[in-house]
Amino acid sequence: MPNSDLRVPDASFVLAERLRRSPKSFAQLAPDLTVEVKSPSDNLEDLRAKIQEFLSLGTKVGILLNPDERIVEVYNFGQEAIILRDGDILTVPDLLPGWEVPIVDLWPLEFD
């Protein structure tokens, strides 16, 4: 991170024009997109605070996947979260034009 913090999201994306060469270690920048996936031991408020920290350091979009509730929260700096549920489509048009995924496809398959 630009503030020398070594926190990392579960997944991240950096636009190619911002990272022309892969660093040998962690890049000292905020990714353009961060993704956090809630595990059974995670606290939702802690994950939301982590996403807000990334946004305050320059991340454009933060996504929180909550498989327990089957909800996706999409964060943009200074805006309210957008809540997506099964039946909705996740897109990130400013960073990934044309990319989309149905929310229902994000969850593990259930077998009888």
Domain locations in the chain as residue ranges? 11-20+27-104
Between 9 and 44, residue with greater pLDDT: 44
| 31-77 confidence digits (pLDDT tens) | 999 999 999 999 999 999 999 999 999 999 999 999 999 999 999 98
* Predicted local confidence at residue 34, as pLDDT: 96
Fold annotation for 11-20+27-104: tt1808, chain A (3.90.1570)
pTM of the model: 0.87
Nearest in space to 33 (alpha carbons), one of 47, 19, 15, 48: 15
